[in-house]
């Protein structure tokens, strides 16, 4: 007759022994992994025309209001940069409040209360560059998330789960483009998500709709009839920081070598 | 004599089992490896739906045409046709039920977004007619003299 | 306010969302885990390689390493925007991220240290628990002590020679396994930084190795320092008690033991210190030689903005002066104390220069960010991630150690392994 003590001991051992492989199987079930290799027919891509952008900043304002980013907070899902290259070979660049209020002065903001007024005669070239999350195909921010709070949806958009993010900030450090920040209210990682709530309903993103000059456009790169897809595949476009291997999906027309 | 050396190992295994038990209750059932594999697709599936449920604030020009066709028609005859109504009037949301009235941005800075002259060659900005904000009536709101819905210089008050 | 805004001042061209997000607590974290790893390696030098002169400090180092282990996650918890969700790292670990390794490595390492301590102190637990078990009328304090020590025995009361011999073998195995795990513990911390391709200063394969080497340096230095302090206290007590209770070691015995241990340990400290310096200088030379895209802005940070912090504080005070102090013949306790304190300072500055230095320049390579450590706390955030938060973390292991010594005594234990 087996003693009660031995019975309990052996049962405990058996349960412990089985639970670990069962748990592992649940986490990495082969069947599950196979079943979900669904191929999406949509892959969102963005097109920015830096010739058309005038730096009005309507896009930044619309984004803030549409996505409930506190208006006065010094963080924004999208922004516009101004580049002024002078004839003596210097670069002056700024983005006052992310261009939420546009660019209304010739004085370039140098930070710490300093400004540089640049005269028309000294300018070699000057232009505006809108920036937003590139929804990369190899997103380094997703790779470094320790808990699976940020991820890539099947249609290519990189999203953040506000209920799961622990706020470590690793994704913010890993993004080469500086598009991420901590939401001032939710204290989770935040970034442009191509107005996912709008594009999933067939609407355009807030910034694309707000831009009066058509400098911003969004489309489905997998659809051959999509105007954005057509431009990207047939005309000369550039991407930001290609050396990082992130495969960004925001394409630029008129991307100058001085753009950071 | 039974070997006591493995006693700590049993204690550690016991702790692991406890953690796995807590995990079973704590982690949502739809959390796992999805479309893009473990590296890029490790997440809670229902979060995608959460994001699609966010309320749309900006409705677009089409929405305004339904009740304000006269305004749309008049501005469409001007270069300001390219500007969305909501850029100056704010997001429509559920207007007219909520909010009943839209606040209009009549500030000087609003117009200066485009009309502060910046002669930047190779940028579309250079083509927009503009003024020097420090010199052209610096303390007055633009709308005192200019009508945004009829911005031609002939339409001035 | 956006997190990081209050202690960041931007200069020239910086993108809107850039702030110094990883501030002083992220400097403290690798510093504390480094001390953990270093203390453990020191203890293992005796248990694995049998270096007899390190026997006294080995026991001490192991207990201190355990105290440090509990403190190491504290800077992370203070930094997280959602600290209660911290367990998500273990619940839904995303192992493509170096930080996810934290859960496994830390728990694994904790298990090893705890197990090694159990084997080391098992006899002591039994020696305390058994007489209390016999005692009929226990006071509340004695009841509590009995409960704690009874649990700690894990139900094993055999203290025969054979079982103690088995304990020794187990310790040796654990200490042996523990060394690579301790290296991994700190190597992964270096990997956290070294693998971030977006950061021009952090991105280098040398980072994990540099971190491990300087971690060992800091661990050895801290153990030497705390050892000296406790020996001085014991010497003081021995001087006073020598007439009354001559069973403790005499002042002279303590003195000679102390200086021998310190001289021995200092040799190992120097070895790892030289290794760490070489790697850091190699990294710097490579960067300057290859002069890639980021070199212009990095040079302006390393040789300009952060010159004092890097070359005077870290390399000068933290590395060069200790080298001179330890290499000059005729090492005294006093010189050793100054030397290890400077070494610890140097290791801290290295963490500071990597973490804060890496955020001193913008992603545009055309702007800078200045870090102002919050001193007076205005709110929870500036307390947690400010000077007092950092100091609190630094003091915690000593406080924990004081309580731990009541369960794991480190002095006067004659019959030790």
Residue for token digits 């200019």? B146
User: Of A158, A174, A190, at which residue does a domain stop?
Assistant: A190
Same domain, yes or no: A185 and A198: no
Query: Is B97 in the C-facing interface, judged by CB distances under 8 Å?
Result: no
Top-confidence residue, A170 or C410: A170
- Chains in contact with chain A (at least 3 beta-carbon pairs closer than 8 A): B, C
Same domain, yes or no: A212 and A121: yes
Q: Give the HSE-up count for residue C223: Cα atoms under 13 Å, Cβ half-sphere.
A: 39
Same domain, yes or no: A199 and A233: yes
Query: Is B53 in the C-facing interface, judged by CB distances under 8 Å?
Result: no
Res A36 pLDDT > 50: no
Provide φ and ψ at C282, rounded to 5°: -60, -45
Nearest to A169 among C21, C86, C362 (CB): C21
Q: Please indicate, yes or no, if residue C412 is contained in any of the structural domains.
A: no
Reported as a single tens digit per residue, the pLDDT across B43-84 is 999 999 999 999 999 999 999 999 999 999 999 999 999 999
Sorting pLDDT into bands at 50, 70 and 90, what band is A35?
very low
Are residues C91 and B12, on separate chains, in Cβ contact within 8 Å?
no
Are residues A212 and B133, on separate chains, in Cβ contact within 8 Å?
no
ipTM, 2 dp: 0.92
Q: Taking residues A53-73, what's their average pLDDT?
A: 97
What is the average pLDDT score of chain A? 92
Distance from CA of A107 to the nearest CA of B (A): 10
Same domain, yes or no: A183 and A211: no
A201, closest residue in chain B (CA to CA): B52
Same domain, yes or no: A100 and A148: no
d(CA C230, CA B11): 33
User: Which residues of chain A lie closer than 8 angstroms to B118, CB-CB?
Assistant: 55, 103, 106, 126
Task: Give the count of domains, chain A.
Answer: 2
Interface test mutation site (partner A, options B25, B36, B107, max chain A beta carbons within 10 A): B36
d(CA A79, CA A73): 13
User: Which residues of chain A lie closer than 8 angstroms to C5, CB-CB?
Assistant: 74
- Please report the sign of the dihedral spanned by the C-alpha atoms of residue C263, residue C264, residue C266, residue C270: positive
Q: Please indicate, yes or no, if residue C267 is contained in any of the structural domains.
A: yes
Q: Give me the pLDDT at residue A14, please.
A: 77
Query: Is A149 in the C-facing interface, judged by CB distances under 8 Å?
Result: yes
Q: Are A83 and A258 in contact (CB under 8 A)?
A: yes
Provide φ and ψ at A44, rounded to 5°: -70, 135
* CATH number of the domain residue A68 falls in: 3.30.70.20
Q: Please indicate, yes or no, if residue A146 is contained in any of the structural domains.
A: yes
Same domain, yes or no: A71 and A106: yes
d(CA C114, CA C111): 5
Q: Taking residues A130-151, what's their average pLDDT?
A: 97
Res A16 pLDDT > 80: no
Provide φ and ψ at C231, rounded to 5°: -65, -40
Strand B42-44 with B31-33, pairing: antiparallel
Provide φ and ψ at B14, rounded to 5°: -55, -40
Top-confidence residue, A33 or A166: A166
Q: Give me the pLDDT at residue C59, please.
A: 84
User: Which residues of chain A lie closer than 8 angstroms to B31, CB-CB?
Assistant: 148
Count of CB pairs separated by less than 8 Å, B with C: 41
Q: Please indicate, yes or no, if residue C398 is contained in any of the structural domains.
A: yes
- Please report the sign of the dihedral spanned by the C-alpha atoms of residue A125, residue A126, residue A127, residue A131: positive
Are residues B35 and A36, on separate chains, in Cβ contact within 8 Å?
yes
C321, two tokens:
């002066």
Q: Taking residues A32-59, what's their average pLDDT?
A: 82
d(CA C6, CA A182): 13
| Element spanning B109, H or E | helix B108-115
Q: Please indicate, yes or no, if residue C414 is contained in any of the structural domains.
A: no
Nearest to A260 among C91, C192, C366 (CB): C366
Are residues C10 and A175, on separate chains, in Cβ contact within 8 Å?
no
Res A92 pLDDT > 80: yes
Q: Please indicate, yes or no, if residue C306 is contained in any of the structural domains.
A: yes
Are residues A131 and C199, on separate chains, in Cβ contact within 8 Å?
no
Same domain, yes or no: A89 and A216: yes
Q: Please indicate, yes or no, if residue A111 is contained in any of the structural domains.
A: yes
Same domain, yes or no: A79 and A55: yes
Q: Please indicate, yes or no, if residue C246 is contained in any of the structural domains.
A: yes
Same domain, yes or no: A101 and A224: yes
Count of CB pairs separated by less than 8 Å, A with C: 147
Range of the domain at C194: 5-404
- Residue B157, judged by CB atoms within 10 A of its CB (0-12, 13-18, 19+), counts as exposed
User: Which residues of chain A lie closer than 8 angstroms to B151, CB-CB?
Assistant: none
Q: Give me the pLDDT at residue C416, please.
A: 43
Res A32 pLDDT > 60: no
Same domain, yes or no: A76 and A126: yes
d(CA A101, CA B110): 8
Provide φ and ψ at C364, rounded to 5°: -75, -15
User: Which residues of chain C lie closer than 8 angstroms to B27, CB-CB?
Assistant: 91-92
Are residues B91 and A58, on separate chains, in Cβ contact within 8 Å?
no
Query: Is B6 in the C-facing interface, judged by CB distances under 8 Å?
Result: no
Q: Taking residues B97-124, what's their average pLDDT?
A: 93
Nearest to A215 by CA among A252, A169, A164: A252
d(CA C273, CA C265): 12
pLDDT in tens, chain C (417 residues): 899 999 999 999 999 999 999 999 999 999 998 888 888 888 887 888 777 767 777 888 889 889 999 999 999 999 999 999 999 999 999 999 999 988 788 889 999 999 999 998 988 888 888 888 888 777 888 888 888 888 888 888 888 888 889 888 999 999 989 988 888 888 888 999 999 999 999 999 999 999 989 888 988 898 888 788 878 877 777 777 655 555 556 677 777 777 888 888 899 899 999 999 999 999 999 999 999 999 999 999 999 999 999 999 999 999 999 999 999 999 999 999 999 999 999 999 999 999 999 999 999 999 999 999 999 999 999 999 999 999 999 999 989 998 998 888 887 654 444
* Packing angle of the helix pair C101-134, C140-152 (nearest 10 deg): 130
Query: Is A18 in the B-facing interface, judged by CB distances under 8 Å?
Result: no
Reported as a single tens digit per residue, the pLDDT across A183-206 is 999 999 999 999 999 999 999 999
Are residues B27 and C155, on separate chains, in Cβ contact within 8 Å?
no
C91, closest residue in chain A (CA to CA): A147
Q: Give me the pLDDT at residue A30, please.
A: 53
Res B102 pLDDT > 70: yes
CB atoms within 10 A of CB A3: 8
Are residues B124 and A51, on separate chains, in Cβ contact within 8 Å?
yes
Q: Please indicate, yes or no, if residue A20 is contained in any of the structural domains.
A: no
Q: Please indicate, yes or no, if residue A10 is contained in any of the structural domains.
A: no
Distance from CA of A183 to the nearest CA of C (A): 7
Q: Please indicate, yes or no, if residue C416 is contained in any of the structural domains.
A: no
Q: Give me the pLDDT at residue C277, please.
A: 92
Distance from CA of B29 to the nearest CA of A (A): 10
Would residue A198 be called left, alpha or beta, if left means φ above 0 and alpha means ψ between -120 and 50 degrees?
alpha
Res A34 pLDDT > 60: no
Are residues A170 and C192, on separate chains, in Cβ contact within 8 Å?
yes
Whether omega for the bond prior to residue B96 falls within 30 degrees of 0, making it cis, is yes
Q: Give the HSE-up count for residue A238: Cα atoms under 13 Å, Cβ half-sphere.
A: 15
Are residues B84 and A210, on separate chains, in Cβ contact within 8 Å?
yes
Task: Give the count of domains, chain C.
Answer: 1
Range of the domain at A131: 44-135+194-253
User: Which residues of chain C lie closer than 8 angstroms to B12, CB-CB?
Assistant: 111, 115
What residue ranges in chain A does DSSP mark as E strands? 44-49, 79-86, 91-94, 107-111, 114-117, 123-131, 150-152, 158-160, 181-182, 189-190, 216-220, 250-253
Q: Give me the pLDDT at residue C24, please.
A: 97
d(CA A215, CA B153): 27
- How far CA B40 is from CA of A142, A195, C56, C99, C132, in Å, comes to 6, 20, 50, 16, 57
Q: Give me the pLDDT at residue C412, please.
A: 62
* CATH number of the domain residue C189 falls in: 1.20.1630.10
User: Of A190, A210, A231, at which residue does a domain stop?
Assistant: A190
Are residues B17 and A196, on separate chains, in Cβ contact within 8 Å?
no
Q: Please indicate, yes or no, if residue C411 is contained in any of the structural domains.
A: no
């Amino acid at each position: 007759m087996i003693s009660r003590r031995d019975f309990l001991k052996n049962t405990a051992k058996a349960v412990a022994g089985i639970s670990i492989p069962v748990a592992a199987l649940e986490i990495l079930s082969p069947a599950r992994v196979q079943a979900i290799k669904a191929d999406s027919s949509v892959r969102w891509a963005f097109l920015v025309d830096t010739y058309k952008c005038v730096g009005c900043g309507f896009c930044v304002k619309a984004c803030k209001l549409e996505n409930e980013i506190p208006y006065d907070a010094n963080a924004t899902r999208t922004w516009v940069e101004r580049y002024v290259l002078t004839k003596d070979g210097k670069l002056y660049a700024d983005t006052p409040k992310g261009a939420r209020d546009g660019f209304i002065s010739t004085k370039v903001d140098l930070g710490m209360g300093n400004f540089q007024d640049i005269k028309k005669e000294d300018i070699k070239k000057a232009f505006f560059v809108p920036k937003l999350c590139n929804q990369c195909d190899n997103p380094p921010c997703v790779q470094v998330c320790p808990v699976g709070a940020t991820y890539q949806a099947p249609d290519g958009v990189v999203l953040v789960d506000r209920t799961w993010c622990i706020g470590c900030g690793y994704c913010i450090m890993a993004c080469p483009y500086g598009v991420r920040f901590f939401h001032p209210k939710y204290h989770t990682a935040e970034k442009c998500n191509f107005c996912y709530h709008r594009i999933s309903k067939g609407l355009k993103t807030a910034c694309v709709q707000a831009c009066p000059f058509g400098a911003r456009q969004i489309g489905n790169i997998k659809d051959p009839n999509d105007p954005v897809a057509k431009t990207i595949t047939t005309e000369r476009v550039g991407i930001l920081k290609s050396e990082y291997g992130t495969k960004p999906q925001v394409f630029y027309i008129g991307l100058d070598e001085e753009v950071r | 004599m039974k070997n006591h050396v493995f006693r700590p190992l049993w204690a550690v295994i016991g702790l692991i089992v406890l953690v796995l038990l807590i995990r079973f209750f704590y982690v949502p059932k739809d959390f796992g490896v999805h479309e893009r594999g473990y590296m890029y697709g490790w997440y809670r599936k229902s979060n995608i739906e959460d994001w699609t449920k966010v309320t749309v604030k900006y409705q677009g020009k089409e929405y305004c045409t339904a009740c304000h066709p006269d305004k749309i028609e008049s501005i469409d005859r001007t270069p300001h046709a390219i500007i969305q109504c909501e850029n100056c009037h704010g997001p429509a949301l559920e207007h007219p039920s909520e909010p009943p009235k839209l606040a209009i941005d009549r500030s000087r800075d609003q117009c200066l977004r485009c009309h502060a002259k910046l002669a930047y060659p190779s940028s579309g900005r250079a083509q927009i007619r503009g003024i020097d904000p420090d010199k052209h009536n610096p303390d007055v709101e633009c709308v005192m003299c200019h009508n945004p819905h009829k911005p031609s210089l002939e339409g001035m008050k | 306010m956006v997190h990081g805004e209050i202690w960041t001042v931007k200069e020239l061209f910086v993108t809107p969302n850039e702030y110094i997000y990883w501030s002083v607590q992220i400097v403290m974290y690798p510093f504390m885990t480094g001390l953990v790893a270093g203390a453990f390696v020191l203890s293992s030098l005796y248990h694995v390689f049998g270096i007899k002169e390190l026997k006294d400090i080995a026991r001490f180092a192991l207990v201190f390493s355990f105290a440090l282990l509990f403190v190491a996650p504290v800077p992370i918890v203070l930094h997280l925007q959602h600290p209660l969700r911290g367990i998500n790292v273990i619940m839904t670990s995303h192992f493509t991220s170096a930080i996810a390794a934290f859960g496994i490595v830390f728990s694994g390492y904790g298990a090893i240290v705890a197990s090694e301590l159990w084997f080391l102190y098992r006899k002591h637990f039994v020696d305390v628990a058994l007489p209390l078990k016999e005692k009929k009328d226990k006071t509340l304090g004695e009841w509590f002590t009995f409960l704690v020590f009874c649990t700690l025995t894990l139900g094993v009361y055999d203290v025969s020679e054979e079982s103690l011999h088995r304990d020794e073998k187990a310790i040796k195995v654990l200490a042996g396994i523990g060394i690579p795990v301790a290296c991994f513990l700190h190597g992964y911390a270096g990997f956290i930084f070294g693998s971030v391709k977006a950061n021009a200063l952090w991105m280098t394969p040398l980072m994990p190795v540099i971190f491990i080497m300087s971690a060992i340096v800091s661990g050895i230095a801290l153990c030497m320092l705390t050892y000296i302090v406790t020996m001085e206290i014991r010497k003081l007590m021995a001087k006073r008690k020598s007439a009354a209770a001559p069973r403790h070691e005499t002042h002279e015995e303590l003195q000679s033991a102390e200086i021998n241990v310190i001289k021995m340990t200092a040799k190992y400290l120097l070895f790892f210190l030289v290794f760490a310096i070489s790697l850091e200088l190699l990294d710097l030379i490579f960067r300057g030689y290859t002069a890639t895209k980021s070199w212009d802005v990095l040079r302006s940070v390393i040789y300009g903005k952060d010159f004092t912090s890097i070359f005077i504080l870290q390399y000068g005070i933290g590395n060069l002066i200790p080298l001179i102090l330890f290499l000059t013949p005729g090492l005294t306790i006093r010189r050793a104390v100054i030397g290890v304190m400077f070494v610890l300072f140097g290791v801290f500055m290295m963490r500071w220069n990597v973490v804060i230095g890496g955020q001193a320049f913008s992603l545009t390579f055309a702007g800078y960010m200045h870090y102002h450590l919050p001193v007076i706390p205005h709110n929870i955030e500036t307390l947690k991630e400010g000077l007092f938060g950092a100091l609190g973390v630094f003091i915690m292991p000593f406080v924990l150690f004081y309580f731990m010594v009541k369960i794991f005594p480190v002095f006067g234990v004659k019959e030790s392994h």
